[in-house]
Amino acid sequence: MIEALRKKAEELLKNKTVSVVFGYGEGSTPERTRPVFITKPEEVNKLTWNKYCVYNLTTYLKRQETRKLGKPAIVVKGCDARTLIVLMKESQIKREDVYILGVSCDGVGDPLAEKCKACDVHTPRIYDDLIGEKGENKELPFDERYAELDEYENLSEKEKWEFWQKQFEKCIKCYACSNICPLCFCDRCIVEKNQPQWIDPSAHARGNLSWNVTRAYHLAGRCINCEECQRVCPVDIPLNLLNKKLAKEAEKNFNYRPGYNIDDELAMSTYNEKDNQDFVR
């Protein structure tokens, strides 16, 4: 698979179909990979593919430094490809401005990442070229995909509050969660605005609660569950639980899975007159 990937990348760069390939390269340790940006055909041997390729490289589509490199070919797993669909639907990228090198994937991380345990997009649902065998993506049932949440949803109100206070207490406001997120693409984040200051910038309990709740909420109906926020958190806050909860509610109420079907309307920019309102008096 690595050979096929390198060959394709070399071809794309030689033909000048793209100016850069965003891919995975060897990292600091054998258990780690890192993003690499290949601009010359002779450098394609830096590309690799293995179970440590956890990153969602689509985040580099939002960064000005990597955008400057020109039209990219981007190596995406099935989950990452869903981000591309959301980005297209949200008018952040045009289909023709990115060459999608899909890879079929049986799960990444060691131990296996949580996101892979209920994966039903082993083969990307959008690509220009597929590296690896094309598998059949059988959609998993709703309950199975959100099973991780059960344990937390079943806590009592007090336990929930205490659990999250304990988690948020650790937050140091490094903003790795929002910087790594390919869908947190605002030029200026709400937390960086101070007239008025909606979110206290301090890393105290009040500021941490409003920051973490707001970060998650701004991804409601958009997050494709790549778990990058959780992976990068230096203090190990299970941030993806919040995102997953929101995804669950969005799917339950609006029958919408972000980045799953390219023809679906974005959940939070549309509405249905028959939307759930059981909770409204």
Partner 1 sequence: MSNETTFEPRIVAFLCNWCTYAGADLAGTGRKQYQANVRIIKLPCTGGIDPLFLIKAFERGADGILVSGCHPGDCHYNSGNYHARRRWNVFKPLLEFCGINPDRIQFSWISAAEGGKWVETINSVIDAVRVLGPFEGYQKINAIGPEGPGEGFAPSSDTTGCECK
Partner 2 sequence: MEKSLNKKDFDNFITSLRGKGYKTFAPKKNNNLVVLDEVQGADEISLDHVITNNSIKEFFFPKTENVLSYRMEKNQVQIEEPEGFAVKAVIFGSRPCDAFSLPVMDKVFNWDCSDKFWVQRREAITIVTIACDKCDSYCFCTSVGLAPDAKQGSDVLLTKISSDNYVVETVTEKGESLIKEFESVFSGPSSDSSDRQVATVEKKFEIEKVKPWLDENFVHAVWTDFSLKCIGCGACTFVCPTCHCFDIVDECTMTKGDRVKNWDGCQFKMFTMHTSGHNPRSTQGERWRQRIMHKFKYYVEKFDSILCVGCGRCSRVCPADMNISEMLEIIETEASQSENKE
Considering the rule CB under 8 A, would residue 262 count as an interface residue with partner 2? no
* The pair of three-digit structure tokens given for residue 13, joined into one six-digit string: 């760069």
* The pair of three-digit structure tokens given for residue 80, joined into one six-digit string: 């990452």
Residues 223, 246: contact at Cβ < 8 Å?
Answer: yes
Considering the rule CB under 8 A, would residue 227 count as an interface residue with partner 2? no
Considering the rule CB under 8 A, would residue 186 count as an interface residue with partner 2? no
**Pairwise CA distance, residues 244 & 248, whole Å:** 6
Considering the rule CB under 8 A, would residue 89 count as an interface residue with partner 1? no
CA distances (Å), origin 253, targets 122, 182, 247, 274: 26, 25, 10, 10
Considering the rule CB under 8 A, would residue 158 count as an interface residue with partner 1? yes
Task: List, as own/partner pairs, every contact residues 36-39 make where C-beta atoms lie below 8 angstroms and the sequence separation is at least 24, other chains included.
Answer: 37/66, 37/69, 38/9, 38/13, 39/13, 39/69
Please report how close the Cβ of residue 63 comes to partner 2 at its closest, in angstroms: 7
Contact pattern for partner 1 over residues 3 through 42, marking x by CB under 8 A: ----------------------------------------
- Residue 158 partner contact from partner 2, partner 1, none using kind-dependent CB cut-offs of 5 to 8 Å: partner 1
Considering the rule CB under 8 A, would residue 175 count as an interface residue with partner 2? yes
Evaluated on CA atoms 107, 148, 221, 252, the torsion sign reads: positive
Which position has the token pair 């995975």?
24
DSSP 92: S
Residues numbered 206 to 225 that lie near partner 1 (CB under 8 A) are 206, 209-210, 213-214, 216-217, 220-221
Considering the rule CB under 8 A, would residue 239 count as an interface residue with partner 1? no
CA-wise closest residue to 43 among 10, 68, 65, 3? 10
Considering the rule CB under 8 A, would residue 279 count as an interface residue with partner 1? yes
- Residues forming the site for partner 2 (CB under 8 A): 27-29, 32-37, 55, 59-60, 63-66, 69, 172-176, 178-180, 188, 192, 194, 197, 200-204, 207, 228, 231-232, 234-236
